[in-house]
Chain A
Amino acid sequence: MKTFTAVFIKQVKDSLRNLPSLMVILIYPAVAWIMITAMGSQEDMSGFFVPVFAAMHCSFAPIMISSSILSEEKEKGTLRSLMMAGVSMVNYLISISVFVVLAAMLTGSLFLMMDHSTSSYAVTFTLAMLAGEVLSTLAGLCIGIYSKNVAAANGMAVPVGLVLALLPMLARFNDGIAKAAEYTYSGQISHLLEGGDVTAKAICVMAAYFAALWAVLIFLFKRSSME
């Protein structure tokens, strides 16, 4: 618990001073807000923008942030210092993940305030966002553990994050993409964020990703600690 709090507090302070990561976590709520405000006088567009940007937010931001935190700590040698002070890798990963999910939820909650039509299914909306953030954080940790430095991590996190974030939006315009998007967790989450029903398929797809990402994470973790 001591090391959990220590690393968590460190991360809060560090992220608040890290402009690029602040931007990543605020960009989608900010853009959504700007769009809604710009369209303000016309018909209420928030029902369209909020689910779209919320889906992008919860798939893109956690991947970027968790992978860059982890890879930066590896690159700068700060992780090794922590390990030598007796912080276990598992403890460290838990602290970082909790931080990333909380930060993404906090900024993600701005979406709920922008759009009143989501209030009828606020619980589903929140849970869907949470699920997306947990899955994306897992994916980000995989990338972070796999990469030796920040550049390598970004090189992987950006395309993965973009595909996950944009696929559900592009699915609106193309049937082929729509079919593919159904098999990504971000596609299912986007559907839930729009107020769609919680289907068995949605649960299955998300559970499959959850299991697969855990397996990859454990594999990469074992490999890195075998040294």
Chain B
Amino acid sequence: MNNGSVISLEHVTRSFGDRLILKSVSLNVNKGEIFGLLGPSGAGKTTIINILTGQLSCGGSAEIFGVSCGKIGGEVYRRTGAVLDNCGLYERLTCADNLRLYARIHGVAFSRIKEALALVGLDGCEGKKVKALSKGMKQRLALARAILHKPELLFLDEPTSGLDPATAAEIHSLMNDLRRDGTTVFLTTHNMDEAYRMCDRIALLSDGTIVECGEPGELCRRHCSTSELRIVAVDGEKLSIANTPENAEAVAGLIRGGRLQSIHSSEPDLGTVFLRLTGKELDK
């Protein structure tokens, strides 16, 4: 393991029953970066977070802060925070009571609660019951709870999925603040725009393995030197043609023959990269 690595997975495997979900996952997350794990839902992103936080056993080697994930103790937990796919908040308790629980667990002063709520834009919500909050507010409260003890490493499991764009943008800006303070962020998402804009590096997870890993811009350049034309014919047939001069006649032929229903040029984005590498759509 090199020195900068906060997370290191080598040939990690995991199955549920006889279904092999992770076939061989290897990746490294460096200190201070926002690392994105991108994959369609059901790919095993949450499973990887569960393994990293010591909630699930696995084959291969998984380490966080140089400690094997099967042997994580209080020391490592104090250095990590997590926002899970389901917020895990006590609905009957107030925002402040939810945070007080975690302040006590981590040994953090209660004065930090107000601070954390302000950071996520929930000023003045101390006395509000969680069940009275909107989905976006709950997600922000979960985030406040995760950063209460100023962790060095933050796990965010699809933190913006199902949120309105304004709340998503707020969460993104908070992630940028955290990166500025040197926090390492491990983000999972199936939203390629989010991964592209937020992450220093991303890994594409498909079929239980990491099919590609690197800087988002780099990946797009590497795999999308030419853009594609996606065409739907009148009879419903779907075609994917490279956007190059030699294909001009083929497209023109479709138009002349009156067979063209719709035509789109696919931008060189992560979705296209994913499609090229795996033959699958990301956002489905």
Interface residues of A (CB under 8 A from B): 2-3, 5-7, 9-10, 13-14, 17-18, 76-87, 226-227
* B93 adjacent to A6 (CB under 8 Å): no
Q: How many B residues face the partner with a CB closer than 8 A? A: 29
Which stretch of B53-61, B159-167, B230-238 is in the interface? Answer: B53-61
A5–B56 alpha-carbon span in the complex (Å): 27
CB distance from A159 to the nearest CB of B (A): 27
Sample of 11 further A-B pairs with CB below 8 A, known A6-B105, A13-B93, A76-B89: A2-B107, A10-B93, A14-B90, A14-B92, A76-B88, A77-B86, A80-B88, A81-B89, A81-B145, A84-B53, A86-B77
Interface code B81-97, partner A: CB below 8 Å = 1, 0 otherwise?
A: 01010111111110001
**Chain B residues in contact with chain A, CB under 8 A?**
53, 55-57, 73-74, 76-78, 80, 82, 84, 86-93, 97, 100-102, 104-107, 145
Nearest CB in chain A to that of B91: its residue: A76
Closest to A16 in B: B92
Q: A76-B86, A227-B57 are in contact. Are A13 and B97 (CB under 8 A)?
A: yes
Q: What's the minimum C-beta distance from B25 to chain A, rounded to whole angstroms?
A: 18
- Please state if B105 and A14 are interface contacts (CB–CB under 8 Å): no
Closest A residue, CB atoms, query B85 = A77
Q: Nearest chain B CB to A96's CB is how many angstroms away? A: 13
Q: Which residues of B contact A83 (CB under 8 A)?
A: 55
Q: Would A2 and B105 count as touching, CB distance under 8 A?
A: yes
Partner of B97, one of A10, A18, A76, A227: A10
Q: Is the CB of B86 within 8 A of A6?
A: no
- Nearest Cβ on chain B to A125's Cβ, whole angstroms: 34
Given A85-B106, A227-B57, A77-B90 contact (CB < 8 Å): no
| 5 sampled A-B residue pairs with Cβ under 8 A | A10-B93, A81-B84, A81-B89, A85-B105, A227-B56
With A10-B97, A86-B78: A3-B105 Cβ-Cβ less than 8 Å: yes
Determine the distance from Cα of A14 to Cα of B97 in the docked complex, in whole angstroms.
Answer: 9
Question: Given the known A-B contacts A13-B97, A86-B77, are A78 and B105 also in contact in the complex, defined by CB atoms under 8 Å?
Answer: no
Query: Could you tell me if B105 and A17 are in contact, using CB atoms closer than 8 angstroms?
Result: no
Of B57, B87, B88, most A-chain CB atoms within 10 Å? B88
CA distance A119 to B245 in the complex (A): 100
Q: Which of A2, A17, A226, A227 contacts B104 (CB 8 A)?
A: A2
Of A13, A80, A85, A227, the residue contacting B102 (CB under 8 A) is A85
Q: Given that A5-B104, A81-B84 are known contacts, is A14 also in contact with B93, CB under 8 Å in the complex?
A: yes
Q: A78 and B89: CB pair below 8 A?
A: yes
Which chain B residues border A18 with CB–CB below 8 Å? Answer: 92
Would you call A81 and B97 a contact (CB within 8 A)?
A: no
Q: Is the CB of A77 within 8 A of B105?
A: no
Min C-beta distance of B210 to chain A, whole Å:
23
Cβ-defined contact, A6 with B87, below 8 A: no
